Amino acid sequence: MHTIDFRSDTVTKPTPGMLNAMMQAEVGDDVFGTDPTVNALEAKAAKLFGHEAALYCPSGTMTNQIALQVHCGRLDEIICDYTAHIYQYETGGYAYNGGLAIKPIHTENGKLNHKNVADYINGDFDWLPKTALLSIENTCNRAGGLIYSYDEMKALRAACEVNNLKFHLDGARIFNALVELNLKPKDIGPLFDTISICMSKGLGAPVGSLLLGNSKSIKLARRLRKVMGGGMRQAGYLASACIYALDHHVDRLVDDHTKAKTLESTLKELSYVSEIKPVQSNMVIFSVDGLSAIEFSEKMRSYNILCTGMSNTWVRFVTHMDVSQDDVEMACQRLKQG
């Protein structure tokens, strides 16, 4: 049996069509701002979300880190959920790169509620950092791919305005949310001051993320990208894969969600599965009786099924374009055998 890789949607490899597009790319030098394919990608993404400008960067960690520094200065503080990527998985970059403080909020499901925003904001005292930015994820990764609805995002935007906060979207998987909500990028773009979008997750491009914002923010973002070592030269080869992904790989994300639902319904039948987090997009997170997440992942590995442990207890399966419906059926058979 071949290996079925559910570790992450980052493991996807370029399709023949995407590779072909990359081979045809016209390139220049993006540090000089003269790579036509990078410029085309940035213009396309900005327009799609109704933002003035965009910046192509090597990773989503970098686009998030740049956004934090665009909106906040030293002695400022960011609010996010406790499970947020910017807090958990960016090596403490908010402090290292930006000299920023963070206030992680413990919520029930990884989603911030607009009603509580005012409570999170520090008073104007010398001994408190100034609360400057609210950041959310849609979908919420560590929370199991949960989705903020349009109304939830809109209410948070209103709360940010009332409380004088900037609003950043870590939209690593925003297209997974949009296809599920049946919304267009333009419907939600204007709710945020900046948006970070990963091209190398479910969309299947090999490298890169986009940061969207107004012209002033993106001008500063370009300088911050350079100082972080993220200025690339003939990046058009990579940008071309991203343009291809935006044109061909967005609508198909619903298939990944169907595959995740198939896994969920199998897991629901199994007596050794103790808990499953609600499945809303392409992630399935669950726990297993008597085995740690690492032990269970090791057991799966012996059957050529790869998954990850999110913590000691939580196992994660992520569906993506490189696992077929047949692969999912095979994995379900294996799971049923225990």
Sites of contact with ligand PLP (CB under 6 A): 59-61, 64, 85, 137, 141, 170, 172, 198, 201, 209
User: Whose Cβ is closer to ligand PLP: residue 51's or residue 201's?
Assistant: 201
Residue written as tokens 């919520």? 107
Q: In this chain, which residue has its C-beta nearest to ligand PLP? A: 60
Q: How far is the CB of 200 from ligand PLP (least distance, A)?
A: 6
Q: Check residue 208 and give left, alpha or beta (phi > 0: left; psi -120 to 50: alpha).
A: left
Nearer to ligand PLP, 314 or 330 (CB): 314
Query: Which residues in the chain belong to E strands, given as ranges?
Result: 4-5, 53-57, 76-81, 101-105, 130-137, 166-171, 194-198, 209-213, 273-276, 283-288, 305-306, 308-309, 315-318
Token couple for 308: 């990850």
Nearer to ligand PLP, 56 or 330 (CB): 56
Q: Nearer to ligand PLP by C-beta: 5 or 170?
A: 170
Least distance to ligand PLP, CB of residue 201, Å:
6
- E strands, 39-165, are 53-57, 76-81, 101-105, 130-137
Q: How far is the CB of 138 from ligand PLP (least distance, A)?
A: 9
Q: Which is nearer to ligand PLP, 156 or 288 (CB)?
A: 156
Nearer to ligand PLP (CB atom), residue 6 or residue 288: 6
We find the least distance from the C-beta atom of residue 62 to ligand PLP, in angstroms, to be 7
Q: How far is the CB of 285 from ligand PLP (least distance, A)?
A: 13
Min CB(163)–ligand PLP separation in Å = 24
Bond before 313 cis per omega within 30 degrees: no
Amino acid in position 69: Q
Residue 106 vs residues 22, 47, 120, 143, 278: alpha-carbon distances, Å: 43, 35, 11, 11, 18
- 3-state SS, residue 282: coil
